[in-house]
Structure 1
């Protein structure tokens, strides 16, 4: 049996590989990490996966036809994690080139080799930015190049599945994914609080749907390995109910033994500052208009479907932050 992971050297992929090695892989099974970067290079999560024995690391660009040497089996599973995702951070065309072409090449690869199981990591970005609660049945209205590219990629995977009723496709739409090696929103939030430059931007009740990376990969395992199903299904992957930014900050401070007062600043004033500071390098500390805007708008994502599907969560919010802190030897969150 082959576990074929496109984008396996990234944040989520490295945690998925570790879980598969620890709990799933048996003699004769193979894990393929197919990525444009390899362990030890820029973009790889340090200290999570470093050339694990038995993992086949192959440098590959999903924007091009996929070819590598392996022996297909009827039970093979593809995890398509490959994406250009940080926003802001890339020219618009890069989201479309990688996320759409990647969906086309991965599904063509599955078609060629008779692989009938794919899990695709999408995003909550296809829902668009708005305060209203989003369920899997909500009509997507993406308003960023990243969100548009992910929605198109979802449709490409759905077309692949529709060609054969025996095929299994799971699309996951995670909220903010956090944990060791993230180096993103939660990491910046922690260090912003710790260094006393994080402030609440106009409100404390902004909803920020999120999920711990170890929880996310456990659900991937549950869905693709512990269950058999036919057809296509979409899951929002987030705590239910989703937490507010104040609840997240309080949990983060409590679990890392940090006492701080976080001031509430007028949102318009902070946005004006970001427009001036952002072009001068403010993005490094989160003072960038796009990131300030993110803090002011809720990602109000409903996780009821995941909560009620039979999967049992392993972590609460506080337990997950404590586990992350432990993974970092109690020295911070990285």
Structure 2
């Protein structure tokens, strides 16, 4: 069985290849525009914007896992979100059709729901607030339309919330790093609940879907429970690290004002800065999602949230 991972040189893709690589019956290829430091021998350079090279790389593939995406908050120009996430989906489907591949697992995002929603499940209407969420939703619509015209295809759409884990350098790591360095400042009251996913569980769920994928379209939110509030996350992190929890808090309006200031500075300097109004808004928003469907599908997460956090902190900060 040959599994083609598109965009597997990044954080989740590297962990997925690590996990799949222990099964000798599987043949794995990683197609990415960036080389893979962890898996160079399994990687071929390719781009979702180049249908011909993509198609050639999918020869004899049984399953495609599409991870490739533009996902940072500060991608410029914004048209790149739609080129990669939407046009890339179209190109992937055409390349799969050319090679006779009919099984696809696509990682979308809970960003399609927008911010401050009431624990949405998979039936909740899409209302994305930024270009990343909008482009992911448009990619899903392309895939849904394709499925209507190709009912014999097996398609799984996974909408994970923010993913953390060993080696990740995203928003959760930035938060943990700030706490560890004693430079953390809480914006707002910190009572907003934050759904998160540990990378070891996400990878296990993708493996689960590869093994059980069936005809039709299957959509899953992915969240590890329980949901922590921002204060909970700070408390658990501080306790594990043995750090005194900062007590300084600033009002939300002041945090947003600072975020807009960094937006202006980033525009003037043409630099990507670690703070922005979008990141402040996301940090303070309620990002809680329902994952009952995934958790009643027969899948059992191998790690608890607390264990995932402990493993991450141990790897990054030696605690």
The normalised TM-score by structure 2 is: 0.91
Determine whether 1:234 maps to 2:219: yes
Work out whether residues 174 and 237 of structure 1, in 8 Å CA contact, stay in contact via their aligned partners in 2.
yes
Determine whether 1:64 maps to 2:61: no
1:280-302 Cα offsets, whole Å, 9 max, x none, are 36997743211111122111211
Query: For the residues of structure 2 that align with 1:286 and 1:95, how far apart are their CA atoms?
Result: 20
Query: For the residues of structure 2 that align with 1:304 and 1:125, how far apart are their CA atoms?
Result: 18
- C-alpha displacement of 1:17: 0.4
Work out whether residues 55 and 98 of structure 2, in 8 Å CA contact, stay in contact via their aligned partners in 1.
no
- C-alpha displacement of 1:98: 0.5
Work out whether residues 135 and 236 of structure 1, in 8 Å CA contact, stay in contact via their aligned partners in 2.
yes
- Name the residue aligned to 1:331: 318
Work out whether residues 88 and 290 of structure 1, in 8 Å CA contact, stay in contact via their aligned partners in 2.
no
Q: Give the 5 Å matches for 1:1-334.
A: 1-22=1-22, 24-26=23-25, 29-40=26-37, 49-51=38-40, 55-65=41-51, 66-68=54-56, 71-72=59-60, 76-225=62-211, 227-280=212-265, 286-328=274-316, 330-331=317-318
Quick check: 310-319 or 237-246, which moved more?
237-246
Work out whether residues 155 and 213 of structure 2, in 8 Å CA contact, stay in contact via their aligned partners in 1.
no
RMSD value, Cα:
2.1
Query: For the residues of structure 1 that align with 2:136 and 2:174, how far apart are their CA atoms?
Result: 24
Quick check: 255-264 or 172-181, which moved more?
255-264
Normalized per residue, which structure has more helix? 2
Query: For the residues of structure 2 that align with 1:58 and 1:254, how far apart are their CA atoms?
Result: 43
Q: Tell me, what secondary structure is at the counterpart of 2:197?
A: strand
Q: Tell me, what secondary structure is at the counterpart of 1:143?
A: coil
Query: For the residues of structure 2 that align with 1:17 and 1:194, how far apart are their CA atoms?
Result: 30
- C-alpha displacement of 1:92: 1.2
Query: For the residues of structure 2 that align with 1:143 and 1:326, how far apart are their CA atoms?
Result: 35
Work out whether residues 185 and 246 of structure 2, in 8 Å CA contact, stay in contact via their aligned partners in 1.
no
Structure 2, unaligned runs of 5 or more: none
- C-alpha displacement of 1:71: 4.3
Q: Classify 1:71/1:140 alpha carbon distance in 2 versus 1 (closer, same or farther; 3 Å).
A: closer
- C-alpha displacement of 1:220: 0.5
Query: For the residues of structure 2 that align with 1:208 and 1:284, how far apart are their CA atoms?
Result: 25
1:124-167 Cα offsets, whole Å, 9 max, x none, are 11111224221100010112111111011112222333333332
Work out whether residues 188 and 285 of structure 1, in 8 Å CA contact, stay in contact via their aligned partners in 2.
no
Q: Tell me, what secondary structure is at the counterpart of 1:33?
A: strand
